[in-house]
Structure 1
C-alpha cells in the first residue's frame, strides 16, 4: 500500500536532481562564455610582446631617500608586473631583470646617460613591442607633501595617450578607491617630452608610482600589498587598452 507513493517521491527527487544539474552546468557554461567575452586578451596569442622597463639601475640609483634607492623599487615592482602579465598568457620582455645599467648595450656616441636611454629604446624597437611601460618613482624635494601617481605619455602619440588613460583609470579604481579607500588622491595623466617616450616606435608610458620624498608615499612604495595592487592595476589598464584598441 505504501510502496507506490515512495516510488513517486523518489522519481520526483531524481527529476529535480537532474534538472538542478542541467541548470548548474548551463550557468557554468554561460559564465565561461561571458568571462571570455569580457577578457579577450587573457588568452592573448599576439606575437608582439609587452616591454617592461624598470627605470635606472646599476651605477644610476635614480631618486633616493637615505639608503632607499629608486632603482631597487623600480625593479621589484617591474618583476611583479611581469609575473601578473605572464600569468595572463601575455609575452613580456624586460629591459633589465637585475641591478644593471644599460649604456654598454648602446653604440651611440654620447653620454652614459643617453646611451642607457638609447639601449632601452632599442630593446623596445627590436622586439616590435605591442607597448611598453617604464616604471619609476617620483621625487619632489621642495614639496614633501606631493603625493600620488603620475602616468606620462608623449603628447603627439594618441595611442600612448589612450594607454595612459586606461592605466590611470585602473589605478584610481584598484589602488586609490578600493585599496587605500580615498578619493582625495588621483592618478594624474601628464604629457612629457622624454627620450624613451619620444623616440620609441611603440606606444608607451612612464608610470611614477609615488613620491620617495613624501613620508606617506615612501612607506607605500615599499609596501608589498601596495606594490601588488599597483601592478594589478597597471596590468588591468594594459588589458583594457589592448581590448579596446582591437
Structure 2
C-alpha cells in the first residue's frame, strides 16, 4: 500500500500505549527489522486509519472451557477489553464483538436452529460488516495432558496475510505464554493451520489465538491475574502492530 499506517506523528501526554510503540521500534531497530530506508519512522498514533475487530470468545450462558471456577469467557473479555484500549490509544478503530458478559446470538434471526450457531454467525456478521484490516478471536484451549500450556495462533489459507498475522502474533505472545515455566511442562509456541467457521466465513484476514490452556495449573494461576491479562493484551497489540507494518511496507 502506498501510505503505510505507521507514520510520523507526535505522542500526546499520558498515552500509555506509546510505551509499547517505543518498545516495538527499539526492538525493530536492534533486530534490523527495519531496513535503512525505513529508520526515519518516528512515534505517534501508528495505527491511525486502521480498524481491528476483537472477538472475545464465548459469553453469556456460554462460559467456554471452565476449571476451578475459572471461566474462559471472563478471561477472554478482560484481555479483549485491554487490547481494545491499547489499539485505540495507538489511533486504531477497535470493534469488539462483545464488551460485556453476553453472547451475540441476538444479531441473527431465530430461524437459525441453535443459539450457538446464531452466536458464531453473529460474530462473523460483525467482522464482515466492519470492513476491518483484520480480526483476532481470543480463546483459551484445553488438553487431555495437563502438562501442555502456552499459546496457539490458528489461521487458514483463505487470505495470504493470515499466516503472517499468525506468525507475528505468535512471536510476541510466546514470551508471555511461557512465564513461570516449570519442569515437565510442554509449552506450545507454534502456529497451526485450522478449519474453523469464523476463519472460513470471515471476509477479512484474521486468526484465532488460544492464549493459554485451562487444563494447565500454571496457566490457570496466571490467567486470573490482571497483570498477566495486561501483558497478554500488550503482546497481542505488538503482534498486530508488527503485522500491519510489514503488510503496508510489502
Query: For residues 178-216 of structure 1, what are the alpha-carbon distances to aligned partners after superposition, in whole Å with 9 as ceiling and x for unaligned?
Result: x6589x735220111111111000111111111111101
> 1:67 Cα shift?
1.7
Residues 1-246 of structure 1 aligned to structure 2 (within 5 Å): 37=41, 42-46=45-49, 48-107=50-109, 109-140=112-143, 142-173=144-175, 175=176, 185-246=187-248
> 1:68 Cα shift?
1.2
Counterpart contact for 1:44–1:89, Cα < 8 Å:
yes
Distance 1:208 1:68 in 2: 16
Instruction: Work out the number of aligned pairs and report it.
Output: 209
Secondary structure of 1:43's aligned partner: coil
- Unaligned regions of 5+ residues in structure 2, if any? 1-25, 27-37
Moved over 3 A (4+): 179-182
Secondary structure of 1:185's aligned partner: strand
Distance 2:173 2:73 in 1: 21
> 1:39 Cα shift?
5.8
Query: Where does residue 5 of structure 2 map in the other structure?
Result: none
Secondary structure of 1:188's aligned partner: coil
Counterpart contact for 2:150–2:174, Cα < 8 Å:
no
- CA-based RMSD: 2.4
Distance 2:187 2:147 in 1: 12
Counterpart contact for 2:141–2:212, Cα < 8 Å:
yes
Counterpart contact for 1:154–1:193, Cα < 8 Å:
yes
TM-score (structure 1 length as normaliser): 0.78
Query: For residues 207-226 of structure 1, what are the alpha-carbon distances to aligned partners after superposition, in whole Å with 9 as ceiling and x for unaligned?
Result: 11111111011111112222
Distance change (3 Å), C-alpha of 1:39 and 1:238? farther
Larger radius of gyration: 1
Query: Where does residue 15 of structure 1 map in the other structure?
Result: none
TM-score (structure 2 length as normaliser): 0.77
> 1:111 Cα shift?
1.9
Distance 2:70 2:172 in 1: 27
Secondary structure of 1:92's aligned partner: strand
Distance 1:145 1:181 in 2: 11
Distance 2:95 2:204 in 1: 14
